[in-house]
């Protein structure tokens, strides 16, 4: 690790009107001042206004609020430069280089002060509130955070509607001024929803200005605080923070001294720079785990898709009232469609092992699926169904060189889960599991609240830190969207927290979706998107399901490269992979951990093309996905070693490929390439291409 720190302490009289700080490259300019007692900041990029003067403040319930009556007391400036190595990631080395300004402001009438800390990077800023303890500022109850982001115009926005309980929505592309009229249509049905009054959006919010700037608003290091959403004053084009409330409408309980999460604003003039940014990760604390040797990337399959399509069930018996610990499952009549049975799981184990996968996820293995919702005792996380032998199946998998992956669906019955957590984690560890996929479908039970409130955010992190004690990695679904905490706790190896591939078995995902997610949801951390569905006609898995996926086979292959995650699933059923064995080869070959990543082309909702070098290898992989329109690539391979020749295996959309009517049209060809090679390739709408590049001997 390399560090270079320059520190300057400046003390100013209270009449100081303004203070400025720039990014290391000088292109980003942050200004801060106090305007008639109100804290305000503004942001410029290459001399262009990005954020107009915007107010800061916290409204409190039990103390006078931190909203007005301020004056500036002192400013501390410093510079920081380090290079750190993640346990897993898109790049072997990550540079963390910023200039910092910590502004101490006081409320003389109340005899208290706070600090606003800004960090300015080449591609954006982060800032947070720091509250020292005072006799009249402690054990604070937050009514609302009033952080503004005043935009300069009616930008184009890529947004999902504001909601305290779900982010599993398609993205809408519109002007900011159109959000109010479009929000009802954008809010599709989900198992748990709590709409924020319109117009509102969730973060990470992406915008594009008419003169070609890309702006992203999000947060980093969300710890012991409620998640931030954004409301919009669509007359002034001012976005304003709105925190997730608990069941009684309170936004947070904090004990001073305290620091809030970082509020982040990215600004770039090239979309590729946003995809390559590590701003969110860098604003998080370094790894807190002393030993990370047990944390590793995973490529896995699952007894999953057949349940998602409705061809099989999670539950062992028909839906009925049960009592955990009392119901004798051996006396219940099986559905005959329970997927997590010994024979079926062995079949999957054989297939996954034969094709080189690391693990096999099995959902529906544990007791409780017959009567699962909104109960104090709705699932057991240590008791399996009669037709699922935990020890025998894990031993069978181990003989084949793979492991089983644990599944914990909580149905958001949090008391039930936390009551069993230690026993469940010990059970998983003792039986050879090292990854747990958890789920939070449904409303928070029993005390209400929301998926993204402070209490639930503390629960998600508690699960991660407790899991580390048992050397377990966590992949949480329906949890709060990531904010870079995987740097601090790298056993948080994945999250869902967005609309994923599972919707392809239902209402579907629009082609633009995977060309937006890396600009938004993935800014905070990797997504367990579960790609690799090669059979678009869902009726071939379940004859009673007429759904059809809106993507070509090559699009699905490319997602393993464009949608970064150290946890990658081959989500389809074995029969589909046998049907398209030559395309399946790319999924078997592609890496899940990387030494270097280079974004070659990018435009939100339109296309993303990225090249990645496999960790500890000379192999490269390229993936390209296209949105609603076809995309023509003309890329160079200048990133390759200039003194070597390589074999490129190219998987591309066929001439008659169509993401709706002919997704299985693809071509595979092999050619010799060098660093001077230019490749001209076409991806159809909803299509893509994938390339494996290996050195010639």
Question: Among all residues, which ones are annotated catalytic?
Answer: 502
10 Å CB burial of residue 607 (0-12, 13-18, 19+) is buried
* Distance of alpha carbon 648 from alpha carbon 137, whole angstroms: 63
Please list, residue by residue across 166-198, b when 16 or more beta carbons sit within 10 angstroms of its beta carbon and e when fewer do.
Answer: bbbbbbbbbebebbeebbeebbeeeebbbebeb
Task: Give the strand pairing for 688-695 and 646-653.
Answer: antiparallel
How many secondary structure helices (H) and strands (E) does the chain include?
A: 11, 37
Please answer whether residues 666 and 651 qualify as being in contact, where contact means their C-beta atoms are separated by less than 8 angstroms: yes
Question: How many residues are there in the chain?
Answer: 697
* Distance of alpha carbon 162 from alpha carbon 198, whole angstroms: 8
DSSP annotation of 548 reads: B
**In this structure, how many other beta carbons lie within 10 angstroms of the beta carbon of residue 77?**
18
**In this structure, how many other beta carbons lie within 10 angstroms of the beta carbon of residue 669?**
9
* Distance of alpha carbon 577 from alpha carbon 535, whole angstroms: 8
Please answer whether residues 428 and 472 qualify as being in contact, where contact means their C-beta atoms are separated by less than 8 angstroms: yes
Strand, coil or helix: what is 577? helix
> Tokens 């206004």, residue?
49
β-partners of residue 17 are none
Extract the tokens encoding 277.
């940014």
Angle at 156 between CA 194 and CA 243, to 5 degrees: 30
Q: Which helix (H) or strand (E) holds 561?
A: helix 553-562
C-alpha dist (Å) from residue 618 to 238, 557, 641, 694: 48, 20, 9, 7
Please answer whether residues 361 and 301 qualify as being in contact, where contact means their C-beta atoms are separated by less than 8 angstroms: yes
Q: Which is nearest to 101 in space by CA: 139, 71, 75, 137?
A: 75
* Distance of alpha carbon 371 from alpha carbon 377, whole angstroms: 10
Please answer whether residues 639 and 622 qualify as being in contact, where contact means their C-beta atoms are separated by less than 8 angstroms: no
Please answer whether residues 576 and 538 qualify as being in contact, where contact means their C-beta atoms are separated by less than 8 angstroms: no
**In this structure, how many other beta carbons lie within 10 angstroms of the beta carbon of residue 133?**
12
β-partners of residue 150 are 52, 238
Strand, coil or helix: what is 566? coil
Please answer whether residues 504 and 511 qualify as being in contact, where contact means their C-beta atoms are separated by less than 8 angstroms: no
Q: Which is nearest to 387 in space by CA: 319, 313, 438, 325?
A: 313
Extract the tokens encoding 444.
């928070």
Extract the tokens encoding 347.
């079949």
**In this structure, how many other beta carbons lie within 10 angstroms of the beta carbon of residue 421?**
17
Q: Which is nearest to 223 in space by CA: 133, 178, 179, 283?
A: 283
Task: Give the strand pairing for 492-495 and 688-695.
Answer: unpaired
Task: Give the strand pairing for 148-151 and 140-145.
Answer: unpaired
From start to end of 503-578, where are the E strands? Answer: 567-569
Region of 93 on the Ramachandran plot (φ > 0 left; ψ -120 to 50 alpha; else beta): beta
């Amino acid at each position: 690790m390399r560090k270079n720190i320059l520190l300057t302490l400046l003390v100013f009289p209270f009449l100081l009107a303004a203070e400025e700080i720039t990014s290391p490259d000088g292109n980003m300019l942050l200004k801060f001042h106090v305007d008639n007692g109100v804290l305000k900041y503004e942001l410029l990029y290459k001399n262009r206004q990005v954020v107009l003067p915007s107010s800061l403040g916290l409204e409190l319930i039990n103390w006078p609020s931190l909203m007005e009556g301020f004056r500036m007391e002192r400013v501390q400036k410093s510079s920081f430069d380090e290079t750190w190595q993640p346990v897993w990631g898109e790049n072997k080395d990550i540079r963390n280089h910023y200039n910092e300004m910590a502004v101490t402001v006081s409320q003389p009438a109340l005899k208290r002060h706070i600090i606003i800390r800004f960090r300015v990077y080449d591609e954006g800023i982060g800032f947070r509130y720091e509250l020292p303890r005072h006799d009249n500022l402690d054990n604070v109850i937050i009514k609302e955070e009033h952080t503004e982001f005043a935009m300069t115009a009616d930008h184009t926005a890529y947004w999902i509607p504001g909601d305290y309980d779900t982010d599993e929505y398609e993205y809408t592309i519109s002007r900011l001024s159109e959000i109010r009229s479009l929000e009802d249509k954008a809010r599709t049905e989900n198992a748990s929803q709590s709409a924020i009054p319109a117009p509102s959006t969730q973060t990470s919010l992406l915008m594009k200005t008419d003169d070609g700037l890309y702006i992203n608003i999000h947060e980093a290091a969300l710890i012991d605080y409620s998640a931030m959403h954004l409301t919009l004053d669509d007359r002034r084009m001012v976005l304003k923070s709105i925190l997730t409330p608990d069941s009684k409408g309170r936004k947070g309980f904090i004990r001073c001294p305290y620091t809030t999460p970082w509020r982040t604003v990215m600004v770039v003039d090239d979309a590729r720079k946003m995809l390559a940014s590590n701003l969110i990760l860098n604003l998080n604390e370094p790894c807190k785990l002393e030993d990370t040797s047990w944390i590793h990337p995973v490529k896995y399959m699952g007894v999953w898709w057949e349940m998602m399509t409705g061809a099989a069930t999670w539950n062992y018996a028909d839906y009925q009232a049960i009592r955990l610990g009392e119901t004798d499952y051996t006396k219940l009549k099986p559905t005959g469609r329970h997927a997590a049975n010994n024979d079926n799981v062995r079949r999957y184990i054989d297939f996954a092992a034969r094709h080189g996968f690391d693990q096999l996820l099995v959902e529906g293995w544990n007791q409780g699926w017959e009567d699962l919702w909104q109960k104090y005792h709705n699932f057991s996380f240590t008791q399996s169904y009669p037709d699922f032998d935990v020890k025998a199946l894990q031993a069978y998998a181990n003989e084949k060189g793979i492991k089983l992956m644990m599944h914990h669906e909580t149905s958001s019955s949090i008391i039930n889960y936390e009551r069993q957590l230690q026993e469940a984690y010990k059970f998983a560890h003792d039986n050879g599991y090292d990854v747990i996929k958890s789920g939070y479908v449904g409303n928070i039970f029993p005390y209400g609240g929301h998926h993204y409130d402070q209490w639930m955010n503390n629960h998600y992190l508690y699960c991660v830190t407790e899991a580390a004690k048992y050397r377990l990695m966590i992949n949480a679904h329906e949890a709060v969207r990531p904010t870079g905490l995987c740097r601090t706790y790298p056993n948080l190896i994945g999250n869902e927290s967005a609309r994923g591939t599972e919707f392809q078995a239902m209402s579907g995902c629009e082609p633009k979706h995977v060309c937006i997610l890396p600009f938004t949801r993935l800014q905070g951390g990797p997504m367990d998107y579960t790609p690799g569905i090669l059979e678009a006609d869902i009726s071939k898995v379940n004859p009673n399901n007429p759904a059809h996926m809106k993507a070509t086979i090559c699009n699905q292959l490319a997602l393993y490269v464009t949608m970064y995650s150290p946890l990658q699933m081959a989500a389809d059923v074995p029969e589909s992979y046998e049907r398209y064995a030559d395309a399946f080869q790319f999924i078997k070959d592609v890496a899940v951990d990387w030494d270097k990543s280079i974004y070659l082309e990018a435009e939100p909702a339109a296309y993303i093309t990225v090249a990645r070098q496999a960790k500890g290898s000379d192999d490269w992989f390229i993936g390209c996905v296209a949105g609603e329109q076809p995309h023509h690539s003309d890329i160079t391979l200048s990133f390759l070693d200039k003194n070597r020749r390589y074999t490129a295996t190219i998987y591309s959309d066929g001439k008659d490929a169509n993401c709706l009517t002919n997704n299985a049209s693809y071509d595979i060809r092999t050619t010799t390439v060098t660093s001077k090679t230019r490749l001209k390739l076409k991806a159809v709408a909803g299509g893509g291409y994938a390339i494996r590049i290996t050195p010639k001997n």
